[in-house]
Amino acid sequence: MCIAAKKKDSNEAVKQFRAQTVFDDDIEKMKRIIIAVANATQVDVFEEAMEESEKLLSRILKLKPVKEILFPDYPYAIKSLGAWGGDFFMATFRKEVEARKYFEEKGYTTLFNYNELIKK
């Protein structure tokens, strides 16, 4: 599920990213995470890669992950998209109805599931 959050200034997010030091080791870690996501056939493997990515980006950007800030009680993975920690985020779930209810109760009403975003 992809959820629209609060609009962030993308230019400012890029400036903030460019101000950080990104080491070759970090780039290699992110490459491995991307490969793990692309090859994931089980949701728990996908979630593990999402969480690894969030930890890595959190350290690089010196920002807390959106899940930690806004949804610490959400039982599944949340991955920031767009201007990190703002524009959009992706959440995994087991039952879409329950996930929609959770985010709607938090005030997030622009929700898309995978099939709405990806044309087959």
pLDDT in tens, 82-109: 766 557 889 999 999 999 999 999 998 8
Q: Provide the residue ranges of all domains of the chain, joining segments of one domain with +.
A: 2-117
Lowest model confidence (mean pLDDT) among 16-20, 51-55, 100-104: 16-20
Average of per-residue pLDDT across 19-38? 85
Asked if residue 74 has pLDDT above 90, the reply is yes
CB-based contact 26:110 (threshold 8 Å):
no
CA–CA dist 9, 49 (Å, integer)? 26
Backbone phi, then psi, for 4, in 5-degree steps? -80, 130
2 pLDDT above the threshold of 80: no
Q: What does the DSSP 8-state code read for residue 19?
A: T
| Residues paired with residue 36 on neighbouring β-strands, in sequence order | none
**Of 79, 89, 81, which Cα lies nearest the Cα of 110?**
89
64: Cβ contacts below 8 Å, ≥ 6 apart? 58, 85
Question: Over 90: is that where the pLDDT of 13 sits?
Answer: no
**For the domain bounded by 2-117, which CATH number is listed?**
3.30.70.890
- Six-digit token pair at 114? 């995978």
